[in-house]
Amino acid sequence: MAHTDTPQGVPQSVPALLARNVAQFGSKPAYREKELGIWQNWTWAEAAEEIDAIAYGLLALGVNRGDHVAVIGRNRPALYWSMVAAQKVGAVPVPLYQDAVAEEMAYVLEHCFARFVICGDQEQVDKVLEVQGRVPQIEHIIYQDPRGLRKYDHSKLHALTDVQAEGRAARDRFAGELKAREGELDFDSTCVMLYTSGTTGKPKGVVLSNRNIIMTSKASSEFDHLDPHDEVLAYLPMAWVGDFIFSIGQAMWTGFCVNCPESADTTLADLREIGPTYYFAPPRVFETLLTSVMIRMEDAGPIKRRLFHYFLEHAKVVGPKLLDGKSVGGMDKLKYQLGNLLMIGPLKNALGLTRIRVGYTAGEAIGPEIFDFYRALGINLKQLYGQTEASVFITQQPDNEVRPDTVGVPSPGVELRIDDTGEVYYRSPGVFVEYYKNPESTASTKDPEGWVATGDAGFIEPDTGHLRIIDRAKDVGKMADGSLFAPKYVENKLKFFPNILEAVVFGNGRDYCTAFINIDLTAVGNWAERNNIAYASYQELAGHPRVLATIQGHVEEVNRSVAGDEMLSGCQVHRFLVLHKELDADDGELTRTRKVRRRIIEEKFHDLIDALYSGKTSQYTETEVTYEDGRKGKISATLEIRDAATVDVGAPAKVAAE
Amino acid sequence: MLDSTEEGYVTADGRQIGGVVMEMRNITLRFGGVVAIKDISFDIREGEIRAIIGPNGAGKSSMLNVISGFYNPQEGEVIYRGSKRPQMRPFQVARQGIARTFQNIALFEGMTVLDNVMTGRLNHMKASLLDQAFWWGKAQREEVANRQKAEEIIDFLEIQHIRKTPVGRLPYGLKKRVELARALVSEPSILLLDEPMAGMNVEEKEDMSRFILDVNDEYGTTIVLIEHDMGVVMDLSDRVVVMDYGKKIGDGTPTEVRSNQEVIDAYLGVAHD
């Protein structure tokens, strides 16, 4: 093992960090949640009391050392407290994706052998009860929101408030026990177990130690100078490692305040009310936000619209320079400030991004124009690159070295290595302990020296030291003529058009590339409205000839851009179709973090792929879909297949573009 | 028939239903020469979900309007909690704890969801005009308490995200939910729902069904509903009254009603072999 040293003066566990925070800033807000329209507030001292009550309650229910306690629900303070309480009693919290269907949940509950499950509400309780036949070891289910659960059989079911009340009553009885168990926690005891969303195969339980979480939180907090006065909005899935690092790791390390939105639907309004200073969002969120701003500007009055475009153009040139502290002419600066007063400031305020000091995005490539837009507004948006196995951070962009096409320099304490095939390897104090009950996978991912394979192909830019990621290593292939095939590269270019939500490119071992396209219903729907095009369903809009023509234009533009890259010019899309349904995690086509599952899509839509390569102009297809409640249905459609103009690689791109 | 003793009965899913809260006795309602309701009698029991079904023009909405006091029947009487109800105006009926939603949504389109829901608290506002004008003392305390209640209902029906949105900008399904919220916030003992799922898609219907069951479960509210979707009616309700051409042709549990030959002929269509 590479990292086994224990630094002096660093608390050795999350509960120890909590105790430190209570001592240092006991009366400072630690958690906020909007309830009944009002932001409720808990200080560190109050939060610690709530956590203790849950911990005593768990002891009363009989939680043992090393037990796995599953936590399922949306981001709420009580669920974060439950995780820390589980750590306190020597158990291991296992947060699960709340939108997972019962079947997926059963696998994880079975695999980690959870005896206790803490649920947010009735929906989650129902799912757990549904799969109980498969996971009989579940002894107690605890829920937070009692709605609809009044008449359930409560022999194994408990309200969290009741568990806390029992815990408070049993405080004296268990005080010694809790203290003993808390004292046993050290840097090498397990902090949390997180299941990877599983782009391939079954989810794997990634075991992260206190060392992993605390050292990573410490390094990354120092990297961005996070302090106790920062505010974050906790709205990303609790089962995702990022949320664990931001809302527990870094929050505990620096003592900043974690704000939980009222409900998933109110997130944007809550964002505005809180005005976080430190903010993470996947590219999709920034994309959606930009799309909605652009749509609303299209609908705005002519004066507002012209003002918006005028100052935005200027801000795009000046904003990033100001952000990076480069010199800007006096007139330009004045004009930017005027724009800030009239347009940029109010817009940022409307988006809730006024106070952001550090903003991060990761997970997928972000379109350069999206990136430029936010930086033009003066928002310090940066990219990072990471994965669950690294406790998030592998590389990140330092302030003033931000570019859309790289993912930054190695995070503090991280070593990088690129092997012969181009795959990226890393080693750091954040490297996971093991995959739970899966030594083969552990061994094949992490070598004895602690180097971990990312599964991504990339290279380090010699002059800047920044890492650039090309694609998933296993997705990078060869076309029939031997040229490089990197689907993600082309898909990202396609997805940068607001009209295109998702794209899947095929071509490995083939003569030419083809693509499936998903339209973005918000953007295309708004366009249809403004052009008086009536449509009754997603499917109908997706098949509209004018929509197809627009998409064809986008594909051809991407082809021109791809042709400019010597290495990847073979990846131009020759034929494409617009899918009749949105790719969906419920149908297994995307992961829960919305990454495309290529193999499954290839299998499921093989008839469409055959049609793309057979020269047909249309293809009838039937697809099974899963509704939100788990029932299945079928939709059928006849899809039009279009040819897109490509640029001849032999000829200079300049001539072809004319 | 069900075992309808004085004390009530136990439903298939094990809920205890109480005694009679409201009884319709030989109700006849005429509009000039048209007889909308003809000699109908049935009762509504504490805590049950009671459905009124029937083909178009059967007199279902008229029946609901009789219950809500909007129409006064020419013959027959309404017994509410043991005593005969005198002729009343709708607002007087509302004060007795009967709230309703409408087939054609009747909300204040220009007001926000929150303001619309707050109007449902009108019956709970006792402060004088002067106090309210200056937002003084009692008026202020009342407003805080009423807002609290309104927020609880908003939370219950999961419409927090549209709290500040003008109702006119909302899609149909959400407007229906806001209307339900306004009815619920008055803390009614009987809730009248006039086609709560008309014009909804499957998913919206499922949501609405869930809310109706939750309301009944959480607040113990007695619910009387008119609905066209037979699947919904059969799933939700404890007892069903079937009407046709202003007459009652069936009354009982969904299973009983479903096997009643007269009902099958009139409403579900004559079965062909």
Indicate the residue type of B271: A
Cβ distance B179 to B101 under 8 Å? Answer: yes
pLDDT at B48: 94
A391 lies in the same domain as A516:
no
Q: Cβ contact (<8 Å) for B161 and A628?
A: no
Token digits of residue A44? 């560190």
pLDDT at A150: 83
For residue A468, give the 3-state DSSP assignment.
strand
B78 lies in the same domain as B192:
yes
Residue A438 belongs to a domain: yes
B50 lies in the same domain as B172:
no
Give the end of a domain, one of B182, B211, B226: B182
B chain contacts of residue A272, beta-carbon cutoff 8 Å:
none
CATH number where A604 lies: 3.30.300.30
Residue A268 belongs to a domain: no
Give the end of a domain, one of A472, A502, A532: A472
Closest CA to B153 of B122, B94, B113, B190: B113
C-alpha A208, offset from chain centre: 18
Tokens 């995780």 -> residue: A83
B206 lies in the same domain as B161:
no
Closest residue on chain A to B210 (Cα): A148
A439 lies in the same domain as A512:
no
User: Does the pLDDT at position B4 exceed 50?
Assistant: no
A458 lies in the same domain as A500:
no
**Does any CB of chain A come closer than 8 Å to the CB of residue B235?**
no
Residue A390 belongs to a domain: yes
B90 lies in the same domain as B42:
yes
pLDDT at A400: 86
Alpha helices in chain B, H assignment, sequence order: 60-67, 90-95, 113-119, 129-134, 137-156, 172-184, 202-219, 230-236, 254-259, 261-263
User: Does the pLDDT at position B272 exceed 60?
Assistant: no
Shortest Cα distance, chain A CAs vs residue B112, angstroms: 14
Cβ distance A65 to A164 under 8 Å? Answer: no
Residue A262's Cβ-count burial label (10 Å; 0-12, 13-18, 19+) is: buried
pLDDT at B1: 41
Indicate the residue type of B50: R
SS (H, E, C) A473-529: CCCCEECCCCCEECHHHHHHHHHCCCCEEEEEEECCCCCCEEEEEEECHHHHHHHHH
**Does any CB of chain A come closer than 8 Å to the CB of residue B147?**
yes
Indicate the residue type of B91: F
| Rounded Cα–Cα distance for residues A578 and A642 (Å) | 9
Give the pLDDT band of residue B6 (cuts 50, 70, 90): low
Alpha helices in A392-499, H assignment, sequence order: 439-445, 487-495
Residue A571 belongs to a domain: yes
Tokens 């992993």 -> residue: A212
CB-facing half-sphere around the CA of A114: CA atoms within 13 A: 29
Residue B10 belongs to a domain: yes
C-alpha A603, offset from chain centre: 26
B16 lies in the same domain as B77:
yes
| Rounded Cα–Cα distance for residues B229 and A191 (Å) | 52
Closest CA to A279 of A356, A347, A215: A356
Shortest Cα distance, chain A CAs vs residue B45, angstroms: 20
Q: Interhelix angle for A545-563 vs A521-530, to 10°?
A: 120
A394 lies in the same domain as A509:
no
Q: Cβ contact (<8 Å) for A36 and B15?
A: no
Residue B67 belongs to a domain: yes
Q: Which residues contact B215 (CB under 8 A, 6 or more apart)?
A: B156, B180, B184, B191, B221, B223
Structural domain harbouring A121: 14-26+40-209
Give the end of a domain, one of B182, B210, B226: B182
Q: Cβ contact (<8 Å) for A262 and B160?
A: yes
CB-facing half-sphere around the CA of B29: CA atoms within 13 A: 27
Residue B104 belongs to a domain: no
pLDDT at B2: 45
In the sheet that holds A157-159, the strands lie side by side as A92-96, A68-72, A116-119, A140-143, A157-159
Shortest Cα distance, chain A CAs vs residue B203, angstroms: 9
User: Does the pLDDT at position B93 exceed 70?
Assistant: yes
Q: Cβ contact (<8 Å) for B152 and A35?
A: no
B86 lies in the same domain as B204:
yes
Token digits of residue A593? 């973090």
What is the mean pLDDT of each successive set of 10 residues along chain A, which is 658 residues long? 70 96 95 94 97 97 96 97 97 94 91 96 94 93 91 92 96 96 95 81 91 96 95 95 96 97 91 94 88 86 92 90 85 91 92 93 82 90 93 93 88 91 90 94 91 89 86 82 83 86 91 93 89 89 93 93 78 92 86 82 91 90 80 86 83 39
A433 lies in the same domain as A447:
yes
pLDDT at B16: 84
User: Does the pLDDT at position B240 exceed 80?
Assistant: yes
Q: Provide the number of structural domains found in chain A.
A: 3
Q: How far is CA B262 from CA A210, B24, B179, B244, B266, in A?
A: 71, 22, 35, 10, 6
Closest CA to A152 of A131, A113, A173, A123: A123
B chain contacts of residue A627, beta-carbon cutoff 8 Å:
203
**Does any CB of chain B come closer than 8 Å to the CB of residue A40?**
no
A537 lies in the same domain as A627:
yes
| Rounded Cα–Cα distance for residues A423 and A120 (Å) | 40
Q: Which of residues 97-116 of B touch A (CB under 8 A)?
A: none
Residue B102 belongs to a domain: no
Cβ distance A37 to B113 under 8 Å? Answer: no
B chain contacts of residue A151, beta-carbon cutoff 8 Å:
14-15, 217
- Per residue in B191-237, pLDDT tens? 999 999 888 888 889 999 999 999 998 899 999 999 888 888 888 99
- What is the number of other CB atoms lying within 10 angstroms of the CB of residue A27? 10
Interface pTM (ipTM) of the complex?
Answer: 0.81
Residue A646 belongs to a domain: yes
A411 lies in the same domain as A484:
no
* B44 conformational bin, left if phi > 0, alpha if psi -120 to 50, beta if neither: beta
- pTM comes to 0.83
**Does any CB of chain A come closer than 8 Å to the CB of residue B75?**
no
pLDDT at A648: 78
Residue B115 belongs to a domain: yes
In the sheet that holds B83-84, the strands lie side by side as B34-45, B20-31, B75-80, B83-84
B171 lies in the same domain as B214:
no
Shortest Cα distance, chain A CAs vs residue B156, angstroms: 8
pLDDT at A427: 95
Shortest Cα distance, chain B CAs vs residue A156, angstroms: 20
Q: Provide the number of structural domains found in chain B.
A: 2
B chain contacts of residue A37, beta-carbon cutoff 8 Å:
147, 151, 154, 160, 163
Indicate the residue type of A130: E
User: Does the pLDDT at position B273 exceed 80?
Assistant: no
**Does any CB of chain B come closer than 8 Å to the CB of residue A36?**
yes
Helices (H) and strands (E) in chain A, counts: 24, 28
Residue B270 belongs to a domain: yes
Kindly write down the DSSP assignment for every residue of A115-126, as one continuous string: SEEEESSHHHHH
Cβ distance A389 to A310 under 8 Å? Answer: no
Interface test with B, best of A36, A262, A270, A627 (most B CBs within 10 A): A36
User: Does the pLDDT at position B43 exceed 70?
Assistant: yes
Closest CA to A504 of A590, A600, A598: A598
Shortest Cα distance, chain B CAs vs residue A625, angstroms: 15
B132 lies in the same domain as B201:
no
Give the end of a domain, one of A472, A491, A520: A472
Largest Cα separation within chain A, whole Å, is: 83
Token digits of residue A549? 């023509």
B92 lies in the same domain as B201:
yes
Closest residue on chain A to B162 (Cα): A266
Q: Which DSSP letter does residue B253 get?
A: -
A517 lies in the same domain as A627:
yes
CATH number where A88 lies: 3.40.50.12780
Give the end of a domain, one of A413, A439, A472: A472
A451 lies in the same domain as A484:
no
Kindly write down the DSSP assignment for every residue of A153-220, as one continuous string: -TTSEEEHHHHHHHHHHTHHHHHHHHHHHHHH--TTSEEEEEE---SSSS--EEEEEHHHHHHHHHHH
Q: Cβ contact (<8 Å) for B203 and A148?
A: no
Q: How far is CA A599 from CA A201, A313, A438, A596, B1, in A?
A: 10, 42, 23, 9, 58
Residue A317 belongs to a domain: yes
CATH number where B3 lies: 3.40.50.300
B78 lies in the same domain as B145:
no
Cβ distance A197 to A203 under 8 Å? Answer: yes
Residue B219 belongs to a domain: yes
Residue B103 belongs to a domain: no
Cβ distance A421 to A473 under 8 Å? Answer: yes
A555 lies in the same domain as A501:
yes
The neighbouring-strand residues paired with A416 are A426
Task: Write the residue in A151, A263, A628 that is nearest to B158 by C-beta.
Answer: A263
B55 lies in the same domain as B75:
yes
* B69 conformational bin, left if phi > 0, alpha if psi -120 to 50, beta if neither: left
Cβ distance A479 to A510 under 8 Å? Answer: yes
| Rounded Cα–Cα distance for residues A65 and A59 (Å) | 10
A301 lies in the same domain as A441:
yes
Token digits of residue A469? 């990621």
Residue A221 belongs to a domain: no
Kindly write down the DSSP assignment for every residue of A51-115, as one continuous string: HHHHHHHHHHHTPPTT-EEEEESSS-HHHHHHHHHHHHTT-EEEEE-TT--HHHHHHHHHHHT-S
Cβ distance A19 to B142 under 8 Å? Answer: no
Polymer length in residues for chain A: 658
Residue A266 belongs to a domain: no
pLDDT at A283: 87
Q: Cβ contact (<8 Å) for B160 and A147?
A: no
Token digits of residue A274? 């809180």
User: Does the pLDDT at position B269 exceed 70?
Assistant: no
Shortest Cα distance, chain B CAs vs residue A51, angstroms: 25
pLDDT at A1: 46
| Rounded Cα–Cα distance for residues B47 and B21 (Å) | 9
Structural domain harbouring B151: 110-182
A68 lies in the same domain as A122:
yes
B92 lies in the same domain as B7:
yes
